[in-house]
């Protein structure tokens, strides 16, 4: 796979005369300007590479999974459990696991914070 990528990158590279090697590139802004001069669009380059290597669908499935986990973590996390219950320590992990058993990922993501707090309180009452 790596050799395929190297071959792909070499085939897509602009001619050396377009790289402006004699100009220093001190900042990210300078490299962005250089990319603009070369006509490089990062999103288009990534999309083209994904299609070339046949992993576009896999990439987007993984990206969606990461986004879903991030949204879930924003809604249900140890800090929320601690604020809601006043508890600390390892018991928070147990409460998080129990809440995740009561409601699916989709349900938790769609819930309001107050609904999740209620679910946490219900879980704590059940665990005691």
| Chain segment 49-96, per-residue pLDDT in tens | 899 899 999 999 999 999 999 999 999 999 999 999 999 999 999 999
What confidence tens digit (pLDDT) does each residue in 91-124 have?
A: 999 999 999 999 999 999 999 999 999 999 999 9
User: How many CB atoms lie under 10 A from the CB of residue 72?
Assistant: 15
Per the structure block, which two tokens stand in for 75? 């809604």
Establish if 113 belongs to a structural domain. yes
31 and 78 within one domain: no
d(CA 105, CA 110): 9
Per the structure block, which two tokens stand in for 61? 């499935």
Residue 103: strand, helix, or coil: coil
Domains identified in the chain, total number: 2
What confidence tens digit (pLDDT) does each residue in 16-50 have?
A: 444 444 445 554 555 556 556 556 677 888 888 89
Domain boundary among 54, 81, 96: 54
Supply the range of the domain harboring residue 45: 1-54
71, 107 Cβ separation under 8 angstroms: no
Q: What share of the chain is helix, strand, coil (3-state, %, to 5)?
A: 75, 0, 25
Establish if 59 belongs to a structural domain. no
Establish if 62 belongs to a structural domain. no
d(CA 64, CA 46): 16
* Cα 25 off chain centre by: 29
71 and 50 within one domain: no
128 and 81 within one domain: yes
Confidence at residue 117, expressed as pLDDT on a 0 to 100 scale: 97
Establish if 103 belongs to a structural domain. yes
User: How many CB atoms lie under 10 A from the CB of residue 92?
Assistant: 18
d(CA 54, CA 13): 20
């Amino acid at each position: 796979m790596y050799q395929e990528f190297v071959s792909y990158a070499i085939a897509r590279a602009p001619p050396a005369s377009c790289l402006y090697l004699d100009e220093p590139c001190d900042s990210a802004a300078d490299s962005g300007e250089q990319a603009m001069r070369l006509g490089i669009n990062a999103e288009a380059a990534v999309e083209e590479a994904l299609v070339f290597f046949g992993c576009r669908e896999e990439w987007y499935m993984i990206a969606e999974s990461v986004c879903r986990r991030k949204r879930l973590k924003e809604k249900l996390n140890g800090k929320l459990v601690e604020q809601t219950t006043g508890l600390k320590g390892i018991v928070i992990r147990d409460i998080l696991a129990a809440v995740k058993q009561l409601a699916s990922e989709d349900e938790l993501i769609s819930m309001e914070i107050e609904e999740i707090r209620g679910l946490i309180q219900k879980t704590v009452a059940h665990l005691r």
